[in-house]
Amino acid sequence: MDLDFGLLLWGLLASVALTLGVTAWRTVGTAQARKRILAVPDSALADAADGAVVVVRGRVSPGEAGAVHGQVTKKSALWARLTVRGETHGTGMMTWRNLGQEVAARDFVLEDAKGARARVLVTAAGADVAVPSPHVVFVAQDAVISAEIRELLLAREDLKEAVGEKQEAVCALRIFEEALASGDDVYVLGQVSKKGGETVLGPSAMGLIVTKDDIRELARSGALWESRPGG
């Protein structure tokens, strides 16, 4: 009995130590990332040199690739992320885990306050988009799932098991749809490329970051790294 208690205590202490270590590591990493982002200069597109890393504010519109559609709202978008989370039961508590996540995007055009335009490579590896206030659908466990949501879930191998034999949710579901639409004002942190008469904003060493809110304020407050749907 004493041995069992000792093993349990050591396991608990090890878990706490690991949690504290991960938290400390993330805190240091966030502080370094915040410092790097706050050091990036604001710039108009016309003033940005080839190869420079800048923050540009402007309005988005479709590029040559056109648009996508949100899978839940069906609204036209230039970037959309679907996240489905399911409620699971652990020891004495309920938690949410990712069942699936999918991004649909097209490279779009950013026009700054001076009318200069750039193509934003939001489909490139390393692109990160932060969109506040996503559209959310909640489905209670055992509730019948609407035809639209059921079709969405059944179309994917990693999500269809959430639908029961009677078209009910086998667990509570939270479905998030985040989107950027034509006409939205955004901040873009990226690296400038000016070749062949075209200006492009692509991933820098910090990636390509697109936000609807002021990217500096998000970095300063830490909100840029807070958990997002499915994060």
Residues 11 and 51 in one domain: no
Residue 78: count of CB within 10 angstroms of its CB: 29
Nearest to 43 by CA among 198, 140, 176, 187: 187
Claim to verify: residue 9 and residue 66 sit in the same structural domain:
no
**231 part of a folded domain:** no
- Taking the C-alpha atoms of residue 60 and residue 186, their distance in angstroms, rounded to an integer, is 7
Asked whether residue 79 falls in the same domain as residue 158, the answer is yes
Q: Are 186 and 160 in contact (CB under 8 A)?
A: no
112, 195 contact by CB (below 8 A): no
Domain-embedded: residue 230: no
What pLDDT digit, counting tens, does each position of 156-206 carry?
998 999 999 999 999 999 999 999 999 999 999 999 999 888 999 999 999
Answer whether residue 216 is part of any domain. Answer: yes
12 and 52 inside one domain: no
| Closest listed residue to residue 199, CA positions, set 78, 124, 106, 110 | 110
Across all residues in the chain, what is the average pLDDT?
A: 87
* Six-digit token string for 62: 């479709």
Report the percentage of the chain scoring pLDDT > 90.
74
Tell me which residue has tokens 């697109």. Answer: 210
Same domain for 46 and 6, yes or no, is no
Phi/psi for 225 (5° steps) reads: -110, 10
What is the number of structural domains in the chain? 2
Residue 58 sits in the same domain as residue 152: yes
Same domain, 116 and 197: yes
- SS3 assignment, position 220: helix
Tell me: do 4 and 113 sit in the same domain: no
pLDDT digits (tens, 9 = 90+) for 15-46: 444 434 433 334 445 899 899 999 999 999 99
Whether 35 and 49 map to the same domain: the answer is no
Range of the domain at 17: 1-39
Residue 194 lies in a domain: yes
The reply to whether the predicted model has a pTM over 0.85 is no
Say yes or no: 71 and 108 in one domain: yes
Give the helix, strand, coil percentages of the chain, each rounded to 5: 25, 40, 35
Residues 22, 76: one domain?
Answer: no
pLDDT at 223 over 50: yes
User: What local confidence, expressed as pLDDT, does residue 25 receive?
Assistant: 33
Task: Outline where DSSP puts E strands in the chain.
Answer: 53-62, 68-69, 76-77, 79-89, 94-105, 108-112, 117-120, 127-130, 135-139, 173-180, 185-195, 198-202, 208-211
